[in-house]
Amino acid sequence: MGKSKNISVTNTSEQKVIDTINSFENISGEWAEKTAHYLRLGLEGAANTTRAYKSDVRAFEKWCQSQGVLHLPVAVETLAAYVTFLAEEKKVSTIERKLSAIAKLHELNGYEYVAYQKSFRTLMDGIRRKKGIRQKQAPAFTLAAFKQVVTQLDDSLLLTLRDKSILLLGFASACRRSELTSLNIEDLDFRTDCLIVSLKRSKTNQLGDYEEKAIFYSPDPSVCPIRTLQKWIQSLNRQTGPLFVSFRKGDHPTEKRIPDDNIYDVIQKHLGKRFSPHSLRASFVSIAKENGADDGSIMRQTKHKTQVMIRRYTRIEDIKKYNAAMNLGL
């Protein structure tokens, strides 16, 4: 098999960039280099997406090697067999993500992608009908249970103080794990009445539009996200750089940004194995809704673009709370 260009920042297909520049017939020569730079960024996509795509492409290449078939450019028969293989165990959302990675691989290398053919789209329709497209919902916790966990954390230990900060900020901000790990200290603006958190980029804001979230003081210092963060930053003894960092032995924080996957470890260590980082976000929505918040105020914090996900998070509670089956008299 021929060697393909990887999905990465350093190996973006130069020919693809050149071809795209050439499509701008009247572009000025003095702007060509800067235009090429922006085109590379456009082809690469967001960092988290790039990491996931690289893993998916490696898995696809390995499967093709095991079958003795070419992965680039992929034949429609090969791609059909691959998604049929994936459908044995994978969710529809996972299959679609892997197809997006393969599409990006073909785009970067200048090949047409066969997934757009009608026969393949029909195959995917069949897989969706068979498996369904409902996503597994991240479990939410109750506020009482969350506060019980947080108040029992010994924040005299720096590692525990970091974890407590992650839990409280993650819940109060309704941030995604990638947003938490990408935060720098300088992204936090501590004010007398609240904390303003500035987000550079997120899953739904990959072009870097200005986004802010407000965090408020709690009357109980033991569960106050702002006071906990101030204590954590003071322990770091610096005013810039990554907010959440890895540790070395002996309870010593490094200056290395915590990886996304470590947020899973923090959540499951303190909240339990059934919970995930997304549980912080799901719990924010469900608890805020129970406390009377409307969808608009919730979306101002979660940065959801539509009410679809808000309804999904609160669906089970609504089914239990507003259901005539409670009054059947059984």
In a domain, 180, yes or no: yes
Q: Look at residues 131, 160, 183 and tell me which one is the last residue of a structural domain.
A: 131
In a domain, 5, yes or no: no
In a domain, 233, yes or no: yes
Which range has the top average pLDDT, 108-112, 205-209, 268-272? Answer: 268-272
Q: What is the pLDDT of residues 305-317, one digit of tens each?
A: 666 666 666 655 5
Q: Are 121 and 162 in the same domain?
A: no
Minimum mean pLDDT range among 49-63, 72-86, 94-108, 241-255:
49-63
104 Cβ contact list (under 8 Å, min separation 6): 7, 45, 53
Structure-token match 């003795």, residue found: 68
Q: Are 177 and 306 in the same domain?
A: yes
What is the pLDDT confidence band of residue 205, given thresholds at 50, 70 and 90?
Answer: very low
Q: Are 203 and 120 in the same domain?
A: no
User: What does the pLDDT read at residue 108?
Assistant: 80
CA-based R_g, the chain, Å: 24
Minimum mean pLDDT range among 112-126, 177-191, 203-217:
203-217
User: What does the pLDDT read at residue 161?
Assistant: 98
Q: Are 147 and 278 in the same domain?
A: yes
Q: Are 284 and 193 in the same domain?
A: yes
Q: Look at residues 131, 163, 198 and tell me which one is the last residue of a structural domain.
A: 131
Could you tell me the CATH number of the domain that includes residue 73? 1.10.150.130
In a domain, 137, yes or no: no
Of residues 50 and 81, which shows the higher confidence score?
81
Dihedral angle sign, alpha carbons of residues 121, 123, 125, 127: negative
Q: Are 113 and 165 in the same domain?
A: no
pLDDT value at 75 more than 90: yes
Could you tell me the CATH number of the domain that includes residue 261? 1.10.443.10
Q: Are 158 and 302 in the same domain?
A: yes
pLDDT value at 8 more than 50: no
Q: Look at residues 85, 108, 131 and tell me which one is the last residue of a structural domain.
A: 131
Q: How many domains does the chain have?
A: 2
Between the alpha carbon of residue 240 and those of residues 143, 187, 195, 237, 296, the distances in Å are: 32, 9, 17, 10, 33
Q: 286: domain range?
A: 143-321
pTM of the model: 0.61
